[in-house]
């Protein structure tokens, strides 16, 4: 198709609406640009794109009379179900199954689609993901139970934040404060436990390890503005969460005295297998993926986790995530080629099991506790793991590309 400098109005509007839909579904900026570039090229419309975490700038038309459209957007939360629907509409337009005008209507319908899971299911998924995280972090029975309770409370707080804008703006530090205070209260009231494990597992879904990985990936792809903004955004989230935990723990210690702790009592090995089955299903709900994607998500998470464990035994834990990232990336490509749906639907949950968010959190808490050397060592470990994870995903994307125009 020959490029049309001015662009068909319906095609141009479709690309503009597709840009917003992709962004609000949680798509990284570099993937937004690549997808829009491929779609506009196939539609014969010469367009240029600049995406950041909070805006998208689009230009089209002759150079001397170029038109510029600015889309101001809030960073979208990860919604894999909506992303799949948006992707399907874009593929249908590219295949000429529907016109761009019909695609606009379909995009509007996809963006208005009601929540896939009920509030109760989402809250239960928060509790299950926290319980599984406590087991992965080496917690015992008491830590797993307390983490699950904290996850349920954070889930309820999240529902309240959806209705109260003030809570929504300060949700991360408030949730961290509540988690630390709850863990400290349980330690004082019921008995000693590893408060750090229970607290971290309870808020694990808030730790921006995935955002850190995306930031490094964008920087690696030469998307410097978006990558830098996302990197500092992840660091700010880490800091706010660490401060919330410090205030919560400090308040409990000030009210009731030093928080009692104990050595974690190891759980049987089979409980880790249970956690490996529970976590992907919880991620399916929390990331709003379609139920039919659950088997693929489960298999991808299992494969990535096993590859990381094997890689850690060979090259160490910092670089073991590289092997896991490659496996998760290739699994996403296989899902794309088998189902014609975005690789992110299985990649994002798989990455969540590998991201070094807990390492970054421990680094900041050590620094806040004036343990400078251990804190810096842990921070370097986090950066190494995030870079290895991003490198693994890049290699997988080069080995098995997942461009939207493939097969069209």
- The DSSP code for 291 is G
Domain holding 380, by residue range, is 289-408
pLDDT given at position 264? 75
Q: Of 92, 111, 130, which residue sits at a domain end?
A: 111
* Residue 406 reports pLDDT greater than 70: no
Residue 252 lies in a domain: yes
Residue 362 binned pLDDT confidence (cut-offs 50, 70, 90):
low
Give the mean model confidence (pLDDT) for residues 67-74. 84
Q: Which pTM value belongs to this model?
A: 0.87
CB atoms within 10 A of CB 405: 14
CB atoms within 10 A of CB 191: 10
Residue linked to tokens 């899902």: 335
The secondary structure of 39-63 as a DSSP string is HHHHTTB-EEEEEETTEEEEEES-G
Residue 383 binned pLDDT confidence (cut-offs 50, 70, 90):
confident
Residues 298-313 pLDDT 10s:
999 999 989 988 888 8
pLDDT given at position 34? 87
Give the mean model confidence (pLDDT) for residues 248-264. 84
Q: Looking at the structure, do residues 135 and 263 belong to the same domain, yes or no?
A: yes
Residues 92-102 pLDDT 10s:
998 888 999 99
Q: Looking at the structure, do residues 150 and 254 belong to the same domain, yes or no?
A: yes
Residue 234 binned pLDDT confidence (cut-offs 50, 70, 90):
confident
Helix or strand run (H / E) with residue 69:
strand 67-72
Q: Looking at the structure, do residues 130 and 86 belong to the same domain, yes or no?
A: no
Q: Looking at the structure, do residues 17 and 126 belong to the same domain, yes or no?
A: no
Q: Looking at the structure, do residues 48 and 191 belong to the same domain, yes or no?
A: no
Q: What is the C-alpha separation between 351 and 349, in angstroms, rounded?
A: 5
Residues near 335 by Cβ (< 8 Å), separated by ≥ 6?
A: 296, 300, 341, 343, 345, 346
Residues near 165 by Cβ (< 8 Å), separated by ≥ 6?
A: none
Give just the sign of the alpha carbon dihedral 11, 12, 14, 15. Answer: positive
Q: Looking at the structure, do residues 137 and 23 belong to the same domain, yes or no?
A: no
Residues 147-187 pLDDT 10s:
999 999 999 999 998 888 778 888 999 999 999 999 999 98
């Amino acid at each position: 198709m020959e490029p049309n400098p001015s662009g068909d109005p319906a095609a141009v509007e479709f690309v503009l609406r597709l840009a917003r839909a992709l962004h609000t579904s949680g798509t990284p900026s570099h993937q937004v640009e690549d997808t829009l570039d491929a779609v506009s090229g196939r539609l014969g419309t010469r367009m240029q794109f600049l995406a950041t975490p909070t805006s998208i700038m689009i230009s089209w038309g002759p150079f001397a009379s170029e038109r510029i459209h600015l889309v101001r957007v809030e960073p979208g939360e990860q919604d894999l179900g909506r992303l799949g629907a948006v992707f399907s509409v874009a593929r249908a337009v590219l295949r000429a199954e529907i016109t761009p005008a019909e695609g606009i209507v379909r995009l509007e319908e996809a963006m208005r689609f009601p929540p896939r899971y009920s509030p109760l299911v989402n809250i239960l998924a928060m509790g299950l993901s926290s319980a599984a995280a406590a087991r992965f972090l080496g917690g015992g029975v008491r830590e797993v139970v307390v983490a699950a309770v904290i996850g349920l409370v954070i889930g309820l707080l999240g529902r309240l934040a959806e209705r109260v804008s003030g809570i929504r703006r300060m949700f991360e530090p408030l949730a961290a404060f509540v988690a630390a205070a709850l863990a400290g209260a349980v330690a004082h009231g019921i008995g000693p436990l590893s408060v750090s494990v229970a607290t971290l597992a309870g808020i694990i879904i808030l730790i921006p390890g995935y955002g850190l990985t995306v930031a490094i990936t964008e920087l690696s792809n030469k998307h410097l503005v978006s990558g830098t903004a996302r990197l500092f955004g992840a660091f700010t989230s880490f800091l706010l969460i660490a401060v919330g935990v410090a205030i919560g723990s400090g308040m409990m210690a000030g009210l009731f005295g030093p928080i009692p702790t104990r050595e974690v009592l190891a759980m049987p090995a089979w409980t880790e297998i249970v956690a490996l089955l529970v976590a992907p299903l919880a991620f399916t709900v929390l990331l709003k993926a379609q139920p039919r994607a659950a088997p693929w998500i489960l298999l991808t998470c299992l494969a990535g986790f096993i590859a990381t464990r094997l890689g850690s035994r060979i090259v160490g834990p910092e670089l073991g995530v590289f092997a896991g990232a490659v496996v998760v990336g290739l699994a996403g490509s296989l899902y794309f080629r088998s189902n014609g749906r975005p690789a992110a639907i299985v990649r994002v949950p798989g990455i969540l099991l590998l991201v070094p968010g807990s390492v970054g959190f421990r680094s900041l808490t050590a620094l806040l506790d004036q343990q400078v050397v251990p804190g810096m060592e842990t921070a370097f470990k986090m950066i190494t793991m995030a870079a290895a994870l991003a490198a693994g995903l890049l290699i997988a994307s080069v080995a098995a590309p997942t461009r939207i125009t493939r097969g069209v």
